[in-house]
Amino acid sequence: MMIFSDLMLARRLEAAEGFAGAQFAEARSRLFPQSGSTWTKCAGATLIFDGIDAPTTQSFGLGLFEELTPAALDEIESFFESRGAAVMHEVSPMAGAAVLELLCARNYRPFEVSSVLYRSVEKPGHSLPGNIQVRVIEPEEAELWSSVSARGWTHDHPELEEFIQQMGVLCVARRQSPCFLAEVDGEPGAAGVLNLHEGVALFGGAATVPELRRRGLQAALLEERMRYAYEQGCDLAMMVAEAGSNSQRNAERKGFRVAYTRLKWRLAS
């Protein structure tokens, strides 16, 4: 069945990413009650506070589900400002020009561009190579998974290790967010995550440790996560990548298409 890039698709995709971000806030609130992490809904948008500097502290779905009025935007801005956070929104072009006009009138500025990609979920037609295994981790493997993920992500940016380690702990603690570990010849080498929401499978970033790269682990992680999504009854797969990046090209090689190019807006001080 043909899937068209329209308002209906944008609502499903943005709701899925908003849900994934909200689960980060819920997990952090459970593990670190003093953090103040929380989320809510306003005018149909998902508002997430997960710490002042957290990348998930922002809104999703602004103007997609309900008309965005100045009064609603006042309430949304208050949610972030009362917690000392910058006010930021990921905005799909499907929200329409009126939303963009209101943001510009309120002194917002765009500062980030991303591609939202999608494809149908299909059961993979072949099995993995005999020396590669991919599985959903057990709760007691959380530390192992976080370590593999951190090693993969921080090889070129060691200053991010503490942040990535904590994000790994939160990934494992989220609801509807199975974490996958890939092994080659019995050695753990790559970690990936999936988030499920109302038939949408959001593929989070996957990372491979430096010494086991170019061994097929990334392809295996994608294939097995797709198989899992199919078995869970999902019909739509989603990824988000920096516009024009290698990550976008790799996703397109795997059958993903660009649904739309999205702007991230920040309220100027």
Tokens at 206, concatenated: 């996957």
Per-residue pLDDT of the chain (269 residues; tens, 9 = 90+): 789 999 999 999 999 999 999 999 999 999 999 999 999 999 999 999 999 989 999 999 999 999 999 999 999 999 999 999 999 999 999 999 999 999 999 999 999 999 999 999 998 887 888 899 999 999 888 889 988 998 988 876 777 677 777 777 888 888 889 999 999 999 999 999 999 999 999 998 889 999 999 899 999 999 999 999 999 999 999 999 999 999 899 999 999 999 999 999 999 98
51 with 77, same domain: the answer is yes
Query: Is 77 found in the same domain as 27?
Result: yes
- The pLDDT score that the predictor gives to residue 156 is 67
Q: Is the dihedral of CA 181, 207, 170, 258 positive or negative?
A: negative
The verdict on residue 2 lying in a domain is no
Predicted pLDDT at 70: 97
**Residue 187 and residue 111 share a domain:** no
Q: Give the chain's domain count.
A: 2
Question: Are residues 102 and 16 both part of a single domain?
Answer: yes
- Round to whole Å and give the CA distance between 228 and 199: 12
Assess contact for 197 and 20: CB atoms under 8 A.
yes
84 and 173 co-located in one domain = no
CATH assignment of the domain containing 153: 3.40.630.30
Domain hosting 111: range is 7-115+260-267
* Count of positions (residues) in the chain: 269
pTM of the shown model: 0.93
Dist CA 44 CA 143 (whole Å): 36
Question: 161: which residues sit within 8 A by CB, 6+ positions away?
Answer: 150, 154
